[in-house]
Structure 1
Amino acid sequence: MTLIARTRARAVETLSLDSPHNRNALSAALVGELAGALTDAGKDTGVRAIVLTHTGNTFSAGADLKDPPPPEALVALLRQIIELPKPVVARVTGHVRAGGLGLLAACDIAAASTEATFAFTEVRIGVAPAVISLPLLPRTNPRALARHYLTGERFDAAEAVATGLLTTCDSDVDRLLGPILEGLRRSAPDALAETKRLLTARVLEAFDRDADALTALSARLFSSPQAREGMTAFLERRDAAWVV
């Protein structure tokens, strides 16, 4: 079963997360297939830019609790998006949770519909947004992000723009993307690659400095008793034992 749909129009490759049965959760299989699609697009001289989007009403529900990717695989995917020599633009028309927010942060430009919602739900299942902090912390407002990290509250697209998670939002996300993609098509490929390197230098410093420690933290938390209780409670649709 193919989990990533690919289409192309005027040198823009669109990669769609296409696993709506589990709300495009980041399974080991989906992460691997997306990494392969990004590799192909990065090598293809006919591709000027990449749009990362989704089928269904959810961009991504975060890690697949039944088939999660190893933390190292998610780190590698996020770094791949950042290091790709072509701009990656996120197009979001649905909900984004937990690890899916790491994908948004790794993209160079992120545009969403005003109907989209967002939440860092990790703390509610007994873990932390560890690995996805690598692209998130260098690119977002730390005071605004603290509330969302610590409470797991749902927030809207306007708040996501204010936080720095999104570039822009509108009731019609494709109206936003039209001029963005046209601008990328009119830009020289080598100039785009060098400009992207300027923009991502600080983010890659965070990967070089913190990736090993955050990978270890993620693995430790996911194997903890609180995480087992939190994930079980989530799957059983009940409150975790610590809820007061």
Structure 2
Amino acid sequence: MSYRYITLNVADQVATLTLNRPEVHNAFDDVMIGELLDAFDTIEQHQDCRMVVLASTGRNFSAGADLGWMRSMADKNYDENIADAKQLAQLMERLDQLSKPTLALVQGAAFGGAVGLAACCDIVLAEERSSFCLSEVKIGLIPAVISPYVMRAMGTRQARRYMLTAERFAAPEALQMGLVHEIVSDFDSALERYRDTLLSNSPAAVTAAKQLIADLDQQPIDAPHQRLTIERIAEIRVSSEGQEGLSAFLEKRSPNWKKDSQ
């Protein structure tokens, strides 16, 4: 499928999903959200894809919600705004719950909902010049549907400050808070490094680990959740990839999912 505001390329087991509206700093509207949701479905169904890269063209990662789109929402009634917000919430949820590892490349500015996109990814790389802002309160709005993901990524204490002040914060601050995992000088070499690392791991185990993290996140460490962890490790140990991984380790060879073993 051809898209208007994004591009999707799958090659060498990596799906690269690129926001492509540089003329408006990759601001998203209902069209882009619909295209991203469609792309997520395509990625999930692509058997050869084992990793997802979220990137963008131009100087900035994304300015967040498109101002023209938000202006049109002001002319719609409550029920229409509910439907619109549900679509954005679905976007965040689908990105957060993709079964494949996700990596965001954040160049320049990430404002508003774009912070939510980053927070939903498993790994976030930024440049030294990158900056972030939860800017919604400046225009009388709130970072509502992205808030659970942002608060989880940067912590409630920091979110309380930046969601209320709408201050702009730099990549080193984002790194310290946990929103960003690494500041890099060259996206290409860093991406190659993460690609080699992620693709050397068991695909089934990576997917199972993502699901385990989702199931345990913010949950009390009680008997039911301990039981869940016990059951999950038992399931992966007896799976085909679990057996292959253990055998390969003991036999001092590469597991069959690694390219160099084929």
TM-score under structure 2 length normalisation: 0.74
Hey, what's the Cα distance between the residues in 1 that align with 2:10 and 2:51?
A: 10
Q: State the 1:159 CA deviation.
A: 0.6
Matched, 1:79 2:93: yes
Aligned to 2:135: 121
- Runs (4+) of structure 1 moved beyond 6 Å? none
The number of residue pairs the alignment matches comes to 205
Deviation by residue 1:139-183 (Cα, 9 ceiling, x = unmatched): 222222222111111111111111111111122233332221111
Letter in 2 for 1:4: I
Q: Residue in 1 aligned with 2:19?
A: 17
Match of 2:37 among 35, 41, 58: 35
1:45 paired residue number: 47
Q: Mapping of 1:1-244 within 5 angstroms?
A: 2-68=4-70, 70-201=84-215
Matches of 2:159 and 2:187, distance apart in 1: 23
The offset of 1:56, in angstroms, is 0.8
| CA shift for structure 1 position 186 | 1.1
Provide the aligned C-alpha RMSD in A: 1.8
* Structure 2 unaligned blocks of 5 or more: 74-83, 220-262
Residue aligned with 1:67, SS: helix
> Does the C-alpha gap of structure 1 residues 15 and 193 become closer, same or farther in structure 2, counting only changes over 3 Å?
same
Gap regions ≥5 residues in structure 1: 206-244
Give deviations 1:176-232, integer Å, cap 9, x for gaps.
322211111112221111011122235698xxxxxxxxxxxxxxxxxxxxxxxxxxx
| 1:23 positional shift | 1.2
% identity of equivalent residues: 35
Work out the CA distance in 2 between the residues paired with 1:198 and 1:97: 30
Is the contact between residue 140 and residue 163 of structure 1 (CA under 8 Å) also seen in structure 2?
A: yes
Tell me: CA distance 1:115–1:9, structure 2 relative to 1, closer, same or farther (3 Å): farther
Conserved? CA contact 1:81–1:107, under 8 Å = yes
